[in-house]
Structure 1
Amino acid sequence: MEARSRTTKAQIALCLGLTANTTGQSFLLVVLPPLGRRLGFSDIETGAILSISALLLMVSAPAWGYLSERIGRRPVLLTALAGAAIAAALFGAIVHLRLAGVLGAVLTLGLFMSVRAGQSLASSGIMPASQAYMADITTPTQRAGAMGVLGAAIGLGTILGAALAWQVAPTNPDWAFAIVSVLALVAFACVHLWATEPARAPRTTPIDAHLPLARIWPLLLITLVSISAYSILQQVTALRLQDALGFTMEESISLGGAALMATATAMIAVQACAIRLLRWEPMRLLAVGAVIAVSSMMICSLVVSYIEIFGSLVMLGIGLGLMLPGNLASLSLWTGPAAQGKAAGFNVVAQGAAQAIGPLAGAMLHRVSPQVPFLAATILLTIACAVAIFTWRSAMQPHETLAPRCS
């Protein structure tokens, strides 16, 4: 009973950490494109801030995954949350000084890039460490549900970030960054108090520690293209509302935040409830979710009103709510017990590459037409759907080399 209580507290701490970190990331992705214009940045400069930092995340995430195997999951989590809290506080100070006329546009741009780079290097360890920690404390049959819980925590953070962009950022962006910093500090305290270092599988042979890239590369590809598509949407949704539908900057931030918040709400509902009720195997969750996601994105690229955009994005949230936990659970099960941190680190590399591609590509494609980024996202999700269905069918074949190996 006591062990179960410790496990529950550790899971709560992990979820709080992911929620706090994702709140900051989501808020920045939603608010920076229109806020950047107010601060004196071009759309390309804003996209560069997000994309360059994502490249740094790609470099640092595997190192954090490796370190989580060596020094433990807990130190990595604490370092990541400390970095997230400090960076958010610095962002708030920079925005306040710029809007007060103390800082010039060029200096503000340089400071934003520097703080964002530091944030990416420090906080990039939270996802690989959390994913590996959850794998350490769950059985293979619990893995899809456990990854769904992590996905729900990320979705909640996306909602909170969008809510801050919707309700606080239009008038007080500096205070919104301060709220993000406080959330990260609370999560830091919870991890420090509740998340003891988990027991991990011993490395009985050198082979156990090897990462089976030949087996897991389709899942990493799905992470890359699906997160790229979602990052494009986060970058350009508010811009589409402003430039294609004629809303003001404040209205675009508010309505874009509301649409992305509804998307994340749908994801949370699916991850927290539907996955446990359906009890589908991870690959089925992945394939079915991918079909729903690509269908909704195709609709979103063609519609011409805010209500239609809103509805198609909610449908996208349902698809991603099935797809992403299914992909994470499959990745964990196919990796084996001794390389969970490394696999999670490489998955974050794929996420980082996607987050580097998405914002910059979205900004550049938006200059062609507000609809073009959504068409590009449709193509990316079509690739994810094709790979998911092919991999699911391959895994169902007898004696298939891609058959999952439970940890």
Structure 2
Amino acid sequence: MTFRLLFFALLATAMGQSVVMTTLPPLGREAGLTEFQVAFLMSSSALMYAAGNALWSRVGKRKGYRRVLITGLTGYTIGTLVFATVWLSGFQGWLVGTALFLALTAARSGQATIMSATPPSVVGYAISISADHERVKAISKVSSAHSLGQILGPTLAGLLVGFHLLTPLYAISLMTLTALILVWRFLPDNQSTPTTPQTQKTGVAVTHSIQPYVPLVIGMNACVFLAVAMMQQSLAFFLIDHHGASTTEAAQGVGLAMMISAVCALVVQFTLVQRTSMHPANLIKLAFPLLSLGYLILYLHHDQSQLYFAMVFLGSGLGISYPAVAALATSSCKPENQATVTGFITASPAMGYIIGPPIAASLYQLSHRAPFLAASVMLATVTLIAVGHLRVKPNPSEDKL
């Protein structure tokens, strides 16, 4: 029951995020915003989200993850309503130009600050009720909600944008409200952390040799989401400018692409990540080449069927990378530092979104395909770094997670 509640809370948040990322570029084009203004909306909110993750992770450790989760869901529900209403005021002509842009920035940044409480509280809660040798599976269970949210969110957006581009935003606020009520009513207020001696045989060995690599793997995770941010910033504009799609068709096309990616991420998490005997470091080395290849196909594609084929590789890589990074990092630090590390892990996606959109917007001015090539080259480089530096050996008596 507890994992189901955590799963649903993160699912609601993930659906909301995927709905926003699917509809934001078309909304911006419809409202007359430039690519750089859309990029700034993504980056500024990501900055607040990253800062909030680190803060809320420490607060959750002290005050309880349930309380912080309720705060995050409340902020998401109210913030989504405010953000959607500001867009509506722009479409109605009540706010235009700079006033609309500033109001959107304030609304989205305020929402991000509070909604950033949700991921670290969910992950922190899951870790706190899981033994060390079950950690990667526990993280995968809740993080798979993110993959499912990326399936259902774009699907929801694609179905509802036909009524109005803002309909998905209002609809998602109802789901986060439902999650809030369920968590408040049924989630136990108990986050006792199971203690496991470092000498105990666990799937992920806690050794001094791994600890220096914690910042490295978190940085690698940030690079993954830097590439995702570059793709999401550019893809809708690419469909409009290169494939001649309307703003509604672009939202539906991005929604389908993200759905395919998320289906593959979800499948690989249930069939590989939760069942594998591979060490997290080796999973990381598998994930990054898949991601690099996906962006390369995206760069080279000529029709939309090839674009969707690229999403198979992107989704598979994403489904492997996040739980592997989270398991390796949280198992490689002292218990008193775990809240901080958890905060950095859940903040690392936002770190990518801080600089990804403006970089993509700049590259897009040079070539509509340049952001995809840059993402592929970056992840190929990260692959080489992972192969060269993540040489982590499990306990000699155990060779499994």
Equivalence map 1:204-219=2 (5 Å):
214-219=212-217
Residue of 383, 386, 392 corresponding to 1:395: 392
Deviation at 1:320, TM superposition (A): 1.6
Q: Which residue of 2 aligns with 1:3?
A: none
Distance 2:131 2:196 in 1: 18
Matched to 1:317, the amino acid is: G
Q: Secondary structure at the match of 2:392?
A: helix
Residue of 111, 120, 140 corresponding to 1:119: 111
Q: Which residue of 1 aligns with 2:31?
A: 39
Gaps of 5+ in 2: 198-209
Q: Secondary structure at the match of 1:278?
A: coil
1:139 equivalent to 2:131? Answer yes
Equivalence map 1:254-269=2 (5 Å):
254-269=252-267
Q: Secondary structure at the match of 1:395?
A: coil
Q: Which residue of 1 aligns with 2:63?
A: 71
Q: Which residue of 1 aligns with 2:370?
A: 372
User: Residues 87, 97 of structure 1: CA spacing in aligned structure 2 closer, same or farther, 3 A cutoff?
Assistant: same
1:232 equivalent to 2:225? Answer no
Matched to 1:200, the amino acid is: T
Distance 2:394 2:192 in 1: 34
Distance 1:162 1:123 in 2: 20
Q: Which residue of 2 aligns with 1:362?
A: 360
**60-69 or 165-174, larger mean C-alpha shift:** 165-174
**139-148 or 46-55, larger mean C-alpha shift:** 139-148
Equivalence map 1:4-403=2 (5 Å):
9-196=1-188, 197-200=190-193, 214-392=212-390, 394-396=391-393
Distance 1:272 1:215 in 2: 27
Residue pair 1:95, 1:173 contacting (<8 A) in 2 also = no
Residue pair 1:135, 1:143 contacting (<8 A) in 2 also = yes
Distance 2:237 2:385 in 1: 31
Distance 2:93 2:164 in 1: 15
Residue pair 1:222, 1:387 contacting (<8 A) in 2 also = no
Residue pair 1:23, 1:161 contacting (<8 A) in 2 also = yes
Residue pair 1:151, 1:268 contacting (<8 A) in 2 also = no
Distance 1:99 1:352 in 2: 28
Matched to 1:238, the amino acid is: A
Matched to 2:7, the amino acid is: C
Matched to 1:31, the amino acid is: T
Matched to 1:199, the amino acid is: S
Q: Which residue of 1 aligns with 2:204?
A: none
User: Residues 138, 80 of structure 1: CA spacing in aligned structure 2 closer, same or farther, 3 A cutoff?
Assistant: same
Distance 1:388 1:329 in 2: 16
Residue pair 1:231, 1:354 contacting (<8 A) in 2 also = yes
Deviation at 1:273, TM superposition (A): 2.9
User: Residues 145, 56 of structure 1: CA spacing in aligned structure 2 closer, same or farther, 3 A cutoff?
Assistant: same
User: Residues 198, 312 of structure 1: CA spacing in aligned structure 2 closer, same or farther, 3 A cutoff?
Assistant: same
- Identity, in percent, stands at 24
Q: Please give the root-mean-square deviation of Cα atoms over the aligned residues, in Å.
A: 2.5
Q: Secondary structure at the match of 2:267?
A: helix
Distance 1:298 1:352 in 2: 23
User: Residues 338, 286 of structure 1: CA spacing in aligned structure 2 closer, same or farther, 3 A cutoff?
Assistant: same
Deviation at 1:94, TM superposition (A): 2.1
Deviation at 1:351, TM superposition (A): 2.2
Matched to 2:285, the amino acid is: A
In the comparison of the two structures, how many residue pairs are matched? Answer: 387
**381-390 or 294-303, larger mean C-alpha shift:** 381-390
Distance 2:25 2:381 in 1: 27
Deviation at 1:308, TM superposition (A): 0.5
Superposed CA offset, 1:3-29 (max 9, x none)? xxxxxx111111111111111111111
More helix by share: 1
Distance 1:97 1:296 in 2: 38
Give the alignment's TM-score, normalised by structure 1: 0.89
User: Residues 380, 195 of structure 1: CA spacing in aligned structure 2 closer, same or farther, 3 A cutoff?
Assistant: farther
Deviation at 1:200, TM superposition (A): 2.3
Runs of 4+ with >4 A deviation: 201-204
Distance 1:23 1:353 in 2: 20
Q: Secondary structure at the match of 1:316?
A: helix
Q: Secondary structure at the match of 1:277?
A: coil
Deviation at 1:284, TM superposition (A): 2.1
Gaps of 5+ in 1: 1-8, 205-211
Distance 2:337 2:181 in 1: 28
Residue pair 2:5, 2:183 contacting (<8 A) in 1 also = yes
Residue pair 1:10, 1:191 contacting (<8 A) in 2 also = no
Matched to 1:148, the amino acid is: S
Q: Which residue of 2 aligns with 1:4?
A: none
Deviation at 1:366, TM superposition (A): 1.2
